[in-house]
Amino acid sequence: MELYIDNRQDDVPITEELEQLVAHAIETAVAYEGIEGDVAVSVSFVGDDEIRELNRDYRGVDRTTDVLSFPLEQEFDLPMVNLGDVVINTRRVLEQAAELGHSNAREVTYLTVHSVLHLLGYDHMNEDDKSVMRREEKAIMEQLL
């Protein structure tokens, strides 16, 4: 797997351990979904202001969010599949981890899995799709925890 990390924030230190956690979450999600071969994913860590701008510019939603996914339309049977870009808001990582009573690492893991599922075509725009996506997230997270 090729993982590209871009750190554009100051809220959370992006350590080698955190990068390995993100890589493991991506590998686990991709394997669970049956994607074979090498994959490439770009993961950017950003703050509230930047993710709000991205959300506004690309989704037409002028508010902050925890994670954004930018999938690349591509065939999954190539030797190297570039899945796309994951953008994680580290401010929301800190807030949501505190709200939910778990570690920042667990929150980054969940947001990574959630975003990778979006890169693979899952969505949660209606209740049926949301139910399917949540089931996939839960199964993958159980493998990771």
Alpha-carbon distance of 87 to 66, in angstroms, equals 8
Q: Is 118 annotated as a binding residue?
A: yes
Are 120 and 84 contacting, i.e. CB atoms less than 8 angstroms apart? no
Segment (H or E) for 48: helix 48-59
Question: Are the beta carbons of 45 and 90 closer than 8 angstroms?
Answer: yes
Q: Is 24 annotated as a binding residue?
A: no
Residue with tokens 């796309």: 84
Which residue type sits at 145?
L
Query: Could you tell me if 85 and 44 are in contact, meaning their C-beta atoms sit under 8 angstroms apart?
Result: yes
DSSP structural state of residue 5: E
84 close to 71: Cβ distance less than 8 angstroms: yes
Q: Which residues are annotated as a binding site for Zn(2+)?
A: 114, 118, 124
Q: Which residues are annotated as a binding site?
A: 114, 118, 124
